[in-house]
Amino acid sequence: MHTCRETSPENYRTGHDTDSIRRSFLDSLYFVQARFPEVATRNDYYLALAWTVRDRLLRRWIDTAGTYYREASRSVCYLSAEYLPGPHLRNALLSLGIEEAVRQALVGLGLDLDDLADQEPEPGLGNGGLGRLAACYLDSLATLEIPCIAHGIRYEFGIFEQEIRQGRQIERTDKWLHLGNAWEIPRPEIAYDIGFGGRTEHVLDALGRRRVRWIPEHMVKGIAYDTPIPGYRVANVNLLRLWSAEACESFDFEAFNLGDYQRAVEEKIASETISKVLYPNDEPAQGRRLRLAQQYFFASCAMQDMIRIYRQRADTMEGLADKFVVQLNDTHPAVAVAELMRLLVDERGMDWAPAWSLVRRIFGYTNHTLLPEALETWPVDLFASVLPRHLEIIYEINQRLLDEVRARWPGDDARIARMSLIDETQGRRVRMAQLATIASHAVNGVAELHSRLLRESVLRDFFELDPGRFTNVTNGVTPRRFIALANPGLARLITDTIGEGWLRDLERLRDLEPWAESADFQAAWRQVKLSNKQRLARYAGQRAGVLVDPETLFDVHVKRLHEYKRQHLNVLHLISRYLKLKDDPGLDLPPRTWFFGGKSAPGYHLAKQMIELILGVARVVNNDRSVRERMRVVFLPNFSVKNAELIYPAADLSEQISTAGKEASGTGNMKFALNGALTVGTLDGANVEIREAVGEENFFLFGLTEDQVSGIRAAGYRPRDWYEADPDLRAALDALAAGHFSPGNPDQFRDLLDALLSWDTFFVLADFAAYGRAQRQADDAWLRAGDWTRKSILNTARCGRFSSDRAIREYCERIWQVQPVHVGAAGDP
Ligand code: 26Q
């Protein structure tokens, strides 16, 4: 095979040496960006650099695609409605190993790499944990040389940008594409027609077989945009294929010919709204037609594309399940199940039974939530009007499922009602988790506890039907972005201490353990943490206008705002501490800085009130001379992948305080621990496994267990009793109710207070006292600096198993049965 060497002078366009990079950078500036230095803006330079790096990725992508094609490799087809990859540039430089060469090339031109990299807007194509997990997994798939195409939606507007004005969240639209995106390759020739609405026709074919034809009411075209995903220090580059909606030419043409120009334009606009905007909620809102259309739109594009790629090498469909495994990242793409059945049965004339057995071999389903309100269901009427044929297919799947259940459990009508794909208890609704489960050969939760609760609660009946399909894969995070890129000082110290290789084999962090006792190593460790804290302190000054002291304990709570995540528990403790300090300034409490960050769904009233609460308390505490040497509170606006990279490495204490049983896994918890933060946390999600890994003496545990929560709920929980019984809790809530933190507006937090005192669905009051005790333990440990540093080192050293590489290996072995495909290319390291 012909490959051009990445280092040869005649191929400077893809060369990895400083000189090639400088020459090709100038070429990109002139011939792609069409600028010359005298008038080039910083953004022009950033884009010229991005084009330059992209050429090097494409060089490898071509080798990768060629290898996968020739070897007809079995591939993962990853379906996710969300991706949060973060800025691409610095990750690409790290993967290629050319950061230093690029830095030098730019210095020679009077430019600064960090300054240009700062220009990159991040693709905010997700809400939070689920989208970021998908991005970590793509990084690990490429790094482990696993063939994968990931499909999603190219939202024109990603997650809103959060601004803080007058003490509250304001949403601004995210225009990530407005200055151009160098990381994507439009593929107008990879396009599919996607139908919506209309009706079905049931007919008999020449052989007397039942056939169904779907006659959609309108069609939209899906166009592929490819973003290369490089593996770390390997030649493999996989694809993230995002689908963008456009009008089908035929449609506006027809209307136009009839002289109805207005209608033609309106059709076009309606078609293009499908990929216009990401829904900023991290749970389903009531029946949104457009959201269902988005899901079907990308699921259908992905299934049609998978079949097209498969058909490049095969004549019949029988081998499809040998070449592809499709992973559903939650139920958002679950309609792909019905779509693949439709493509096989209606479009390709397969019989139902072989088509269904293919489908069941192909699909895997990952569940990310147990919260009943977060489980996706769609009203049958709505479903029928958007996807009439798919509803029929779901009915057919359901009938066969329920026949099987009746045969095994005769007369068990309650079981039938629970297992039916159609929920009849609150209007008729399609249950997407049940659909994804019955269509998959493997179903997994995202942490041990979560997977167990899944088997015992939401999917219990399905577990009893076929236990062998259920498994767990605990989440993981990529150490490339969250250690090497985010915390270069720590990465250097680790490499200096245990040598190279740990970034691809994170369990090797364990070699740090013996160093945890060394005074010199502890000093170096503390120095790294301190400079990360100085960096965050500067950022907090600029972005939040709060002066913070890097010597104080940095206590950090960043994640989406949610009642179950209990940011208000943190605030109540903070208020209580504030009141005590005011009462008794002599109290021996080490100075702390509380950092909060995260977005609230725009329509989630109580979550928005929690942001106001944090800001209200921050204002009072930060302006109170009597305590402000010992307490500061900062809300960092617009939490994103980009600023997360500044935040995690600077944390001393990580807040993971969700009500037990509610957080499926959490992944922030892992990012903090890997960067040497200690956790104050409940027995929830992956916290349980983190605590086991780091040792209970290195983790501040508190709170009710999931069993206890269920027990108290069953016995009748009365939050007001807890309020009455605990003077500290009462003082904190009373101060809030009296308007101490909302001067001039004593009722500002009324709704939040009412919810806590009347229902307290998430047991904030019941956990308040235990939380305070855990915080006291954290204070004591902080006062013994050497001890704290030792614990911090051990957290990093013992969390290697929370690498997404480990998680992806488990998916490969337990669920996907895919093998690495080595790509030997130019400059193969
Ligand atoms: C669904 C239907 C309609 C509109 C929106 C949605 C929707 C969108 C996003 C539902 C859920 C989400 C996101 C969920 C999420 O981020 N879950 C988190 O996933 C992480 C990765 O597994 C876990 O670590 C977290 O515990 C879990 O909360």
Average pLDDT per consecutive 10 residues, the chain (829 residues; last block may be shorter): 51 93 97 96 98 98 97 98 98 98 97 98 98 99 98 98 98 96 98 98 92 96 98 98 91 65 82 95 88 98 98 95 98 98 97 98 97 94 98 98 98 98 96 98 98 97 98 98 98 98 98 98 98 98 98 98 98 98 95 98 98 98 95 98 98 99 98 99 98 98 98 97 98 98 96 98 98 98 96 98 99 98 69
CA angle 416, 417, 421 (to 5 degrees): 90
Q: Which atom of ligand 1 is nearest to the CA of 446?
A: 22
The distance of Cα 86 from the centroid of its chain, to the nearest Å, equals: 11
CA angle 359, 360, 363 (to 5 degrees): 80
Q: Residue 389, Cβ neighbours under 10 Å: how many?
A: 23
Active site positions, annotated: 368, 559-560, 565, 667, 671
Give the β-pairing of 148-153 and 237-247: parallel
- Whether residue 16 contacts residue 101, with contact meaning beta carbons closer than 8 Å, is answered with yes
For residue 196, give both structure tokens. Answer: 């919506």
The one-letter code for the residue type at 630 is: R
Q: Ligand 1 pocket test: which of 78, 279, 283, 286 has the largest number of ligand atoms within 8 Å of its C-beta?
A: 283
pLDDT of residue 286: 77
Q: Ligand 1 pocket test: which of 82, 159, 282 has the largest number of ligand atoms within 8 Å of its C-beta?
A: 282
Report the nearest-CA residue for atom 10 of ligand 1: 283
CA angle 107, 112, 117 (to 5 degrees): 135
pLDDT of residue 314: 94
Distance (Å, rounded) from C-alpha 737 to C-alpha 731? 10
Q: What number of residues does the chain have?
A: 829
pLDDT of residue 259: 72
φ/ψ of 286, rounded to 5, equals -55, 130
pLDDT of residue 6: 58
The one-letter code for the residue type at 620 is: V
Report the nearest-CA residue for atom 25 of ligand 1: 666
pLDDT of residue 137: 99
Q: Which is nearest to 87 in space by CA: 176, 219, 155?
A: 176
Give the β-pairing of 422-423 and 429-431: antiparallel
Q: Which is nearest to 751 in space by CA: 741, 759, 743?
A: 759
Which position has the token pair 């996706």? 376
In sequence order, the β-bridge partners of residue 153 are: 243
Please give all residues whose beta carbon lies within 6 A of any atom in ligand 1, as ranges: 127-130, 133, 279, 281-284, 291, 332, 368-369, 376, 446, 475, 663-667, 685
In sequence order, the β-bridge partners of residue 219 are: 195
Distance (Å, rounded) from C-alpha 512 to C-alpha 515? 5
* Alpha carbon of 133 to ligand 1 centroid (Å): 10
User: What is the value of pTM for the model shown?
Assistant: 0.97
Distance (Å, rounded) from C-alpha 236 to C-alpha 232? 9
pLDDT of residue 251: 58
